[in-house]
Amino acid sequence: AQTVTQSQPEMSVQEAETVTLSCTYDTSESDYYLFWYKQPPSRQMILVIRQEAYKQQNATENRFSVNFQKAAKSFSLKISDSQLGDAAMYFCAYKGIKAAGNKLTFGGGTRVLVKP
């Protein structure tokens, strides 16, 4: 079974600074997909960024970028120029291509606090 681990329960960042969230996963599959989801307080979870495992190039979405290290099974998220609206729980998630219904397996989450 696949597992996703986020080792940082909480991270604090100064507004306009950069923060990096860690994620490691365990899988025996060679093809899979990785995601970062953001869950703001009292609001629904939304997709931040996704990465196909077969792509070597790291995904980037505006201020959000990932560092995908397939051999190390590591998938970190970097938030640049942090804004107050970035404060939320961030979940790393895994989806294998063979999983029935393509289910998402989540890590335990990292709470990001943004200081003005």
- Positions in the binding site for other proteins (CB under 8 A): 4, 9, 32-33, 35, 37, 42-47, 50, 52, 89, 91, 95-97, 99-109, 111
Q: How far is the CB of 108 from other proteins (least distance, A)?
A: 5
Q: How many CB atoms lie within 10 A of CB 37?
A: 21
Q: How far is the CB of 57 from other proteins (least distance, A)?
A: 15
Q: Give the chain's end-to-end CA distance (angstroms, integer).
A: 41
CA angle 81, 83, 87 (to 5 degrees): 125
> For residues 19 and 96, which CB has a smaller minimum distance to other proteins in the complex?
96
- Of the pair 18, 102, the CB lying nearest other proteins is at 102
Q: 44 vs 71, which CB is nearer to other proteins?
A: 44
Q: How far is the CB of 36 from other proteins (least distance, A)?
A: 12
Closest CA relative to residue 20, chosen from 62, 71, 64, 72? 64
SS3 label, residue 102 = helix
Q: How far is the CB of 51 from other proteins (least distance, A)?
A: 10
Q: Is 60 helix (H, G, I), strand (E, B) or coil?
A: strand
